[in-house]
Amino acid sequence: MDSPIDMLPREKLLKLGPAQLTESELIAILLRTGTKGQNVVDVSLQLYEEMGNSLYSLHQSSFERIKKINGLGEVKAVTLKAALELGMRLHRELIMPEVIKRPADIYALCDDMVFLDREIVRVISVDSKSNVISIEDITMGTVNSSLIHPREVFKSAILHSAVSFALVHNHPSGDPSPSQADKEITKRLKECAKIVGIDIIDHVIVGKGRFFSFTLDKELQGGESDHGRKGSRTREVAETEDGD
């Protein structure tokens, strides 16, 4: 019987299960074939090393960068991107709360946004019992600016017959501290919410491993700091304060 080190990735997965494979071995299964003078295991190992042994780096890499690796073409690059996206969606499905009770629940629905290199604006619509009705990305901005307009935000909430909604966007820099523009749009949305009759329960900014909640910061009526000390603004996943 072959030892695990002598098994090809596909054979190893069948006999030992996917958890026993290295990242490069799992990539090799997706790539399926190598190139002249280089087998698929070597190609996948080269790719993974080129990405700094990081799946995050691979996820963030462009098609052009991936295709520069010898033995990788468009089809294989698309396969890798699709597999990584499925992994992200599985993660979201596993952790997704059905009911929003606190800002951390909103963050759990949107922690995939830490992988994005552009600002995305997301609207989470909920019903009268705080059950999540829909999660919709409404606009995409640039590296350092998002495009948040009350019209698009409330259009999504109204379309899904929401009683209330949470607004979420990410800061690709990793720092979720709100800008002056973030504060101003939150104020505008709060004013619009009174007119439209659909409450805004929070505006959450997603950073790298932490988030900012306007509700926890008391800038939206009814916010409760249910996770930490009074006055803390930026929440890390471990729910400790940052240094500001």
The pLDDT value given to residue 241: 34
The pLDDT value given to residue 115: 82
Tokens for 59, please give them. Answer: 């996820």
Neighbouring CB atoms inside 10 A of 243's CB total 4
The pLDDT value given to residue 146: 62
Rounded to a whole number of angstroms, the CA Rg of the chain reads 22
Q: What is the pTM of this model?
A: 0.60
The pLDDT value given to residue 91: 75
Residue with the two structure tokens 């963050």:
107
> Which tens digits make up the pLDDT trace of 168-177?
999 999 899 9
The pLDDT value given to residue 18: 92
26 pLDDT tier (thresholds 50, 70, 90): very high
Residue 244 has pLDDT above 50, yes or no: no
The pLDDT value given to residue 240: 29
Residue 227 has pLDDT above 90, yes or no: no
35-63 b/e (C-beta count within 10 Å ≥ 16 → b): eeeeebbbbbbbbbebbeeeeeebbebee
Residue 239 has pLDDT above 70, yes or no: no
